[in-house]
């Protein structure tokens, strides 16, 4: 039975493993073997991984794959993807090949502005606070000069600081709403450092502002933190071609285009469908974000907030037919970095960026958005033609056979058998039993 432990973080790695194995698992020896078999054979690499986070006892592997043949703005990319879900890489690759022959993907940056806020409580007159902010703003900027100096030399820094009155939502609630340009860095540490200094200076300047009463001088800073909602750090990716070029064996070109647009429109108005629709987009986006050492949780949160920006959760992608041309596009907020964090520490992250020709943050935004659009195209294309299960379950077949303990020879026979058969758990078990009995 699991019991509380004192000072777990102070234990050595071996002691942590012993405690977990003995207190939380039924087979301590087997537990240790599983944990150790996922350690890197190079002690230096393992030490690097151990120090990424706290209380590390092993590594959790995800497949690191490549989706080739992405033509983006005329240049060909092989895109690294880290993901565990069957069919994602295959679907993205299939979409990339499809559009390679139809002009490829176009991508453009709409904006790169990021946001941070100082949230505070002020008990007093709003006009008086506005006058104080005007007088304090130069001091706020001056107080972060040493923090912003390096970023400004490269062309980034603080774009704006504004005072926002939110007392209609919470009594006495105001904020400093700040925008930043962080160039090739994701910028979280830079932004948070600026915000915390703003908060300190705000309180100091309030104590000196003569127009304030004693109560008004005591501004209460609640918190200072960046926002992962970045609607002005936006990228657009799209594909287009004459409807006639969409033809395939599953459906006539015009019928396919019309049905595809209908499917996207359904995701625009039906939140239950929109969530799954957008999840498919995130299959592509998250896989590249993770492979390149970026924060996929922040990206997920920001993108889903953007999907609900008009008051109802809706499709992130759009499609239309106009003058005989099929267009499919996406606009998503992406705060990404290609310097700092894991980008300079994790060997596979460095390799992933090298495979992508060491992109700038703007270029990576475009690549990631294209991966999401490609994944969405592949998913919707399957849904409106053959159905999603035919291709997905074929890709899932090997996982099922591994779970059932199939030999390599049995796997070969099963793959051949299911080339033209429907894959289900029951049909796979039945077919494998027949092969084993021969």
- Mean pLDDT score, 81-104: 95
344 band by pLDDT with thresholds 50, 70 and 90: confident
Per-residue pLDDT tens over the stretch 349-390? 999 999 999 999 999 999 999 999 999 999 999 999 987 665
Per the annotation, the verdict on 346 as an active-site residue is no
* Mean pLDDT over each residue of the chain, to the nearest integer: 93
Query: What distance in Å separates the CA atoms of residue 166 and residue 182, rounded to the nearest whole number?
Result: 27
| Predicted confidence (pLDDT) per residue in 187-205, tens digit | 999 999 999 999 999 999 9
Determine which one of 85, 216, 245, 410 is catalytic: 85
- pLDDT at 4 (0 to 100): 87
Q: How many CB atoms lie within 10 A of CB 340?
A: 17
Cβ 433 vs Cβ 415: under 8 Å: no
Q: Give the Cα separation of 286 and 291 in Å (integer).
A: 8
CB crowding 126-157: b at 16 or more within 10 Å, else e:
eeebeebbeebeeebbebbeebbeebeeeebb
The per-residue pLDDT for 422 is 72
Q: What is the pLDDT of residue 409?
A: 81
Q: What is the pLDDT of residue 436?
A: 80
Confidence of residue 414 (pLDDT cuts 50, 70, 90): confident
- In this prediction, residues 5-15 reach a mean pLDDT of 95
d(CA 1, CA 241): 62
Q: Tell me what the mean pLDDT of segment 142-167 comes to.
A: 97
Percentage, residues of the chain above pLDDT 90 = 84
pLDDT single digits (tens) 300-339:
999 999 999 999 999 999 999 999 999 999 999 999 999 9
Catalytic residue among 279, 350, 362, 396: 279
Of 184, 295, 346, 394, catalytic: 295
Q: Which of 16, 277, 346, 392 is catalytic?
A: 392
Q: Give yes or no for a contact between 41 and 59, defined as CB atoms under 8 angstroms apart.
A: no
Identify the residue whose tokens are 């996922």. 38
Contact 69, 349 (CB under 8 A): no
Whether the per-residue pLDDT at 427 is higher than 90: the answer is no
* Residue whose entry in the numeric block shows the structure tokens 């021969």: 438
**Is 84 part of the annotated catalytic residue set?**
no
Angle at 101 between CA 96 and CA 102, to 5 degrees: 95
Per-residue pLDDT of 385-398, as tens digits, reads 987 665 555 566 77
Query: What is Dmax (Cα atoms) for the chain?
Result: 93
> For the purposes of burial, counting CB atoms within 10 Å of the CB of 114, is it exposed (0-12), middle (13-18) or buried (19 or more)?
buried
Q: Please say if 119 is a catalytic residue.
A: no
- pLDDT at position 250 is 75
Across 31-45, 98-112, 116-130, 392-406, least confident range: 392-406
Tally the residues of the chain: 438
Strands (E), 252-390: 317-322, 325-333
Contact predicate 174/120, CB 8 Å: yes
Q: What's the pLDDT score for residue 363?
A: 98
348, 302 contact by CB (below 8 A): no
How far, in Å, CA of 82 to CA of 66, rounded?
9
Q: What is the DSSP letter of 144?
A: T
Query: What global pTM score does this model have?
Result: 0.89
The predicted structure's pLDDT at residue 390: 58
DSSP assignments along 243-311, one per residue:
GGGG-BTTB-HHHHHHHHHHHHHHHHH-HHHHHHHHHHHHHHHHHHHHHTT--HHHHHHHHHHHHTTTS
Q: SS3 for 415?
A: helix
Which token pair is 344?
């300079």
Select the more confidently predicted residue: 131 or 412. 131
Q: Is 279 a catalytic residue?
A: yes
* pLDDT the model gives residue 262: 98
Q: What is the pLDDT of residue 1?
A: 53
pLDDT at 149: 97
pLDDT tens digits for range 158-186: 999 999 999 999 999 999 999 999 999 99
String of DSSP letters for 356-394: TTS--HHHHHHHHHHHHHHHHHHHHHHHHTT-HHHHHHH
The pLDDT assigned to 405 comes to 83
């Amino acid at each position: 039975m699991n019991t509380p432990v004192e000072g777990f973080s102070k234990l050595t790695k071996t002691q942590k493993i012993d405690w977990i194995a003995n207190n939380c698992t039924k087979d301590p020896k087997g537990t240790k073997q599983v944990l150790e078999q996922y350690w890197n054979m190079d002690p230096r690499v393992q030490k690097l991984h151990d120090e990424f986070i706290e209380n590390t006892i092993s590594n959790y592997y995800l497949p690191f794959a490549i989706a080739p043949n992405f033509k983006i703005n005329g240049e060909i990319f092989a895109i690294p993807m880290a993901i565990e879900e069957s069919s994602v890489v295959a679907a993205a690759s299939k979409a990339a090949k499809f559009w390679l022959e139809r002009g490829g993907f176009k991508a453009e940056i709409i904006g790169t502005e990021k946001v941070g806020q100082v949230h505070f409580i002020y008990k007093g007159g709003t006009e008086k606070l506005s006058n104080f902010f005007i007088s304090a703003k130069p001091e706020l900027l001056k107080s972060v000069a040493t923090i912003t100096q390096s970023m400004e030399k490269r062309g980034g820094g603080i774009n704006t600081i504004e005072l926002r009155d939110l007392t209609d939502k919470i009594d006495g609630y105001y904020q400093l709403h700040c925008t930043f340009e962080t160039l090739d860095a994701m910028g979280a540490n830079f932004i948070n450092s600026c915000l915390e200094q703003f908060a300190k200076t705000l309180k100091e300047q309030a104590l000196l502002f003569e127009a304030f009463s004693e109560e008004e001088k005591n501004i209460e800073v609640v918190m200072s933190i960046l926002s992962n909602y970045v609607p002005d750090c936006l990228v657009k990716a799209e594909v287009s071609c004459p409807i006639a070029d969409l033809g395939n064996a599953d459906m006539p070109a015009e019928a396919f285009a019309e049905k595809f647009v209908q499917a996207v429109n359904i995701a625009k108005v039906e939140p239950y469908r929109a969530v799954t629709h957008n999840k498919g987009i995130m299959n592509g986006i998250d896989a590249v974000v993770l492979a390149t050492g970026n924060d996929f949780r922040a990206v997920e949160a920001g993108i889903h907030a953007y999907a609900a920006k008009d008051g109802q959760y809706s499709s992130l992608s759009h499609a239309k037919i106009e003058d005989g041309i099929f267009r499919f596009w996406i606009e998503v907020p992406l705060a990404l970095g290609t310097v700092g964090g894991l980008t300079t520490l994790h060997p596979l992250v460095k390799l992933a960026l090298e495979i992508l020709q060491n992109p700038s943050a703007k270029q990576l935004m475009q690549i990631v958005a294209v991966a999401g659009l490609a994944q969405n195209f592949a998913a919707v294309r399957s849904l409106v033609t053959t159905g999603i299960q035919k291709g997905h379950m074929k890709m899932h077949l090997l996982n099922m056979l591994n779970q059932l303990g199939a030999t390599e020879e049995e796997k070969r026979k099963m793959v051949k058998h299911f080339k033209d058969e429907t894959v289900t758990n029951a049909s796979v078990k039945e077919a494998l039993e027949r092969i084993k009995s021969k």
